[in-house]
Amino acid sequence: MADSFLTPAGWPRPWVQWLVLAVVLGIGLFVRLDAPEIGLMEARNFVAAREIHAGGSWLLPTMNGELRLAKPPLPTWLVAAVMHLTGSTTDLGLLRLPSAVGACLLVLFFRALARRLTPPQDQGRTAWLATVVLASSLLLLTAGRDGNGWDIYAYCFMTGALAAAVRGLQSPTRGLGWFAGSGLLIGLSILSKGPVAPYGMLLPFLVAYALRGERAALRRQWPGLLLMAVVGLGVGGVWPLYVLSQHLSEASQVAHTESTSWANRHVQPLWFYASFPAFMGLWALAAVATLAWPYAAPRIRPYAPYALLLAWVLATLVLLSLVPEKKERYLLPVLPPLSLLTAGLLRYWLSEDRRTSPVDKWLLRGWVGVVVLVLLALPLALRIVGLASFAPDTPRYWLASGLAVAAAGGAVWLWCRSALPQAAVAVTLATVLLASGLLMPAYPEWQRRRDDPGLRPLARLVRERAELRRAPVYSVGEMQIKWIWAAGRVVPQWHPETDSLPLQRLPVLVYAGARGAAPFPASLARRFQVETVDSFDLSHQFADGRWYVTEIRARSGR
């Protein structure tokens, strides 16, 4: 039976490799996509897509009725396309599908790139390991399940661009078709998040390739590289040029705001990204080991270009660190080269002719031991946390506990059979699948465990009050974008001191931070009947505040 799954050399057959990758991606990215509540960046993307779906402009998207020029439109177009195809504007699981598919494409593009960067005689084994490592890394799974989309699409297309460019660089002919395809993907990346991915991924890769790669290929294929740049700028520049032709002043103001925000918003010190291996998740220990040149270089070189990959990682970190604005998710371009480095070390550990040193043994023992302890502690941890969906009398609790103990037992069995590398890979994948399939969907319940009872969110209010979906609705004061999403429609901001237009169609409903006539001029309260009809809570605790729904209608007898 084992022969049908494994090659004579003991490696999974190609169909088994694809099956493993499909299981990791399927469970990691698609199980209960609807579970987490909507995030801030997701709300911006989904509101803009909803307004396109409602009949707005595809070329000039709006967010709550105002031009949305701060971000390129491709992620919004993809969500709007899902809304058109499914007819749903509220199902978060459906609206997050494009991001999850983008993460899958990133992994597949990376596999193609890894095959080009690893020796042919390796038969794709290191490339497959690298693909599995990337697919099960912490940051990729969290970014792929987040519907904001900008980062995942930008680096998805840029990874594909690198795969095509390397294919062109390795071509014995001009390979112009590969460079043109690479340029197209670069253009799509620019349409996803502007120059972020060219700066954060393309530039460090080219720097590393020039320093530690085939510089002769760069000189020989300069026409193709020029074609790649022209196509990329041409495709990526179409939408910005159209916006400039239609709204020059607004676009200039947005460009100034976005450029200054890089220096003034979310500013972090240079060493903020020092913890980057942690975003590999359970592969972090092996990832850290690959950065120790004297230890890792001789082990990884037979299976992957160690110097090139390390230079790529370091160049990416340096360029990202030079930008004052820093966020954890901006580390996404570090994952591909770090995954291939990690896979190179795993490939060495898994090879039959390896020479295992005490350092190798202690690394593997520490890795497997920590993961086994975490798995064995899971049943107790679930009891202590006390989530209702994992109560001791629920099937989910016993399923999670049983799978955790079984995975730990399998790892110990492999350990006893002197198969520590196999135990490390197997128990890591099992833990990632367990967390993705059973534990991650319960994360929103963990977040809401301290919610005050009896909260009345805006989404519930809109469901219960049909007039909030039909009658004219305005806000006095700026509403957060999450509230706009919950409102289910455009909610224009009203300035009652200077604007009387909303009063031409009565009755109107108004969201405001105070009840009754308090938010309005005294003259308006004298002329019209102003009555607060309902309210909603702003967050998960009453102390966070409340907004009110006020109805303005003509006074009786008028």
**Chosen domain end from 429, 449, 469:** 449
Give pLDDT, residue 133.
Answer: 97
Query: What are the residues facing 512 on neighbouring strands?
Result: 476, 548
Give CA torsion, residues 234, 56, 105, 99, to 10 deg.
130
Domain match, 160 and 193 both: yes
Residue 535 included in any domain? yes
Domain match, 439 and 511 both: no
Give pLDDT, residue 166.
Answer: 96
SS3 459: helix
C-alpha pair distances (Å), 445 with each of 207, 389, 438? 45, 8, 12
User: What's the pTM value of the predicted model, to 2 decimals?
Assistant: 0.93
Domain match, 412 and 502 both: no
Give pLDDT, residue 1.
Answer: 47
Contacts of 42 (CB under 8 A, 6+ apart): 95, 96, 146, 147, 148
- H helical segments located in 170-305: 176-193, 196-197, 203-212, 215-220, 222-246, 248-264, 284-290, 293-300
**Chosen domain end from 260, 282, 304:** 260
- H helical segments located in 1-149: 2-5, 14-30, 40-53, 74-86, 92-95, 97-117, 125-135, 138-144
Per residue in 49-89, pLDDT (tens digit) is: 999 999 999 999 999 999 998 889 999 999 999 999 999 99
DSSP strand pairing (546-554 vs 508-512): antiparallel
Domain span at 81: 14-260
Q: Point out the residues of the chain with pLDDT beneath 50.
A: 1
Cα–Cα distance between 348 and 221 in angstroms, integer?
33
Domain match, 411 and 482 both: no
Cα–Cα distance between 141 and 436 in angstroms, integer?
8
Residue 128 included in any domain? yes
Give pLDDT, residue 263.
Answer: 63
Residue 282 included in any domain? no
Residue 542 included in any domain? yes
DSSP strand pairing (546-554 vs 62-63): unpaired
Q: Which of 532, 433, 439, 437 is nearest to 24 (CA)?
A: 433
Report the chain's C-alpha Rg in angstroms: 27
Residue 94 included in any domain? yes
Domain match, 479 and 387 both: no
Domain match, 519 and 440 both: no
Number of domains in the chain: 3
Residue 309 included in any domain? no
Domain match, 104 and 183 both: yes
Domain match, 439 and 465 both: no
Q: Which of 337, 295, 330 is nearest to 313 (CA)?
A: 337
Q: Is 473 within 8 Å of 511 (Cβ atoms)? A: yes
Give pLDDT, residue 2.
Answer: 54
Residue 254 included in any domain? yes
- Give me the phi and psi of 217, to 5 degrees please: -65, -35
Residue 273 included in any domain? no
Q: Is 214 within 8 Å of 205 (Cβ atoms)? A: no
Which two structure tokens, joined as six digits, stand for 224? 């193709």
Give the chain's length: 558
Q: For 165-181, give the secondary structure using H, E and C.
A: HHHHHCCCCCCHHHHHH
Give pLDDT, residue 12.
Answer: 84
Q: Is 189 within 8 Å of 149 (Cβ atoms)? A: no
Per residue in 216-238, pLDDT (tens digit) is: 889 999 999 999 999 999 999 99
- The verdict on whether omega for the bond into residue 305 sits within 30 degrees of 0, i.e. cis, is no
Per residue in 407-465, pLDDT (tens digit) is: 999 999 999 998 899 999 999 999 999 999 888 888 788 778 778 888 899 999 999 99
Strand-by-strand arrangement of the 546-554 sheet: 473-476, 508-512, 546-554, 528-537
Domain match, 484 and 443 both: no
Domain match, 462 and 421 both: no
Q: How far is CA 14 from the centre of its chain?
A: 28
Q: Is 139 within 8 Å of 329 (Cβ atoms)? A: yes
Q: Is 511 within 8 Å of 491 (Cβ atoms)? A: yes
Cα–Cα distance between 209 and 196 in angstroms, integer?
19
Domain match, 443 and 491 both: no
Cα–Cα distance between 337 and 318 in angstroms, integer?
14
Q: Which residues of 294-314 are buried (b: 16+ CB within 10 A; e: fewer)?
A: ebbeebbebbbbbebbbbbbb
Burial (CB count within 10 angstroms: exposed 0-12, middle 13-18, buried 19+), residue 145: buried
Q: Which of 81, 51, 78, 53 is nearest to 67 (CA)?
A: 51
Domain match, 68 and 200 both: yes
Q: Is 115 within 8 Å of 8 (Cβ atoms)? A: no
SS3 534: strand
Cα–Cα distance between 234 and 187 in angstroms, integer?
7
**Chosen domain end from 232, 260, 288:** 260
